[in-house]
């Protein structure tokens, strides 16, 4: 897993889901991919006291979508809509830091193929995803709306 370097830029509290769940998006990595980071606490676990699969999926989806956005906007704020997303769960996610690392695997100007891997800070690979994302119209200037997965 590659951790963010000093040239990274953070997108925080831009959407309702970010404010509710507490994840951040990281852009500006030399590899061109986006990251979605969360510190897992009691709000993010299921009845088994492990990371809820829906939240893991959200992190993977956002890492893919922000990576797609970076193909047309170096701020990572151009919205992309998820057309399909396939997720494979490989290990339990535990409390502490987790990071989904996204990358673009193909596509063109409007349709992008992307994948992501979700790692715990201890190096455990928790889940992987691959999906198809469509470029969405940018929100009107000054609307307060932001990019979302």
Q: How far is CA 94 from the centre of its chain?
A: 18
Please give the Cα distance from 54 to 56 (Å, whole number): 5
User: Could you report the per-residue pLDDT of 15-45, keeping only the tens digit for each?
Assistant: 999 999 999 999 988 898 999 999 999 999 9
The predicted pLDDT at position 23 comes to: 97
Burial of 8: CB neighbours in 10 Å, binned 0-12, 13-18, 19+: middle
Residue 147 forms part of a structural domain: no
> Is 148 inside a domain boundary?
no
Task: Evaluate whether residue 28 is within a structural domain.
Answer: yes
CA–CA gap between residue 4 and residue 38 (Å, rounded): 13
Q: Give domain status of residue 3, yes or no.
A: no
Give the model's confidence band at 4: pLDDT under 50 very low, under 70 low, under 90 confident, else very high: very low
> Does some domain include residue 146?
no
How many domains does the chain fold into? 1
CB 147 within 8 A of CB 79: yes
State residue 41's pLDDT score.
Answer: 97
CATH number, domain at 87?
3.10.129.10
Residue 118 belongs to what domain range? 9-135
Q: Does residue 140 form part of some domain? A: no
- The two three-digit tokens of residue 92, written as one number: 């339990």
In a domain, 100, yes or no: yes
* Residue 1 falls inside a structural domain: no
pTM above 0.75, yes or no: yes
Most confident of 4-13, 24-33, 119-128: 119-128
Is residue 31 packed enough to be buried (19+ CB in 10 Å), middle (13-18) or exposed (0-12)? exposed
Mean pLDDT of all residues in 95-111? 96
């Amino acid at each position: 897993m590659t951790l963010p370097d000093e040239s990274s830029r953070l997108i925080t509290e831009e959407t309702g889901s970010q404010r509710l769940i507490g994840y951040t998006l990281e852009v500006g990595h030399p590899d061109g991919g986006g990251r979605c980071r969360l510190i897992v606490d009691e709000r993010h676990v299921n009845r088994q006291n492990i990371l809820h699969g829906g939240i893991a999926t959200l992190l993977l989806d956002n890492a893919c979508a922000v990576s797609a956005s970076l193909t047309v906007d170096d701020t990572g704020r151009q919205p992309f809509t998820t057309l399909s997303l396939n997720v494979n769960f490989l290990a339990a996610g535990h409390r502490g830091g987790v990071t989904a690392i996204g990358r673009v695997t193909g596509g063109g100007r409007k349709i992008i193929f992307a994948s992501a891997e979700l790692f715990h800070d201890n190096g455990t690979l928790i889940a992987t995803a691959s999906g198809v994302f469509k470029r969405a119209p940018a929100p009107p200037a000054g609307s307060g709306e932001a990019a979302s997965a």
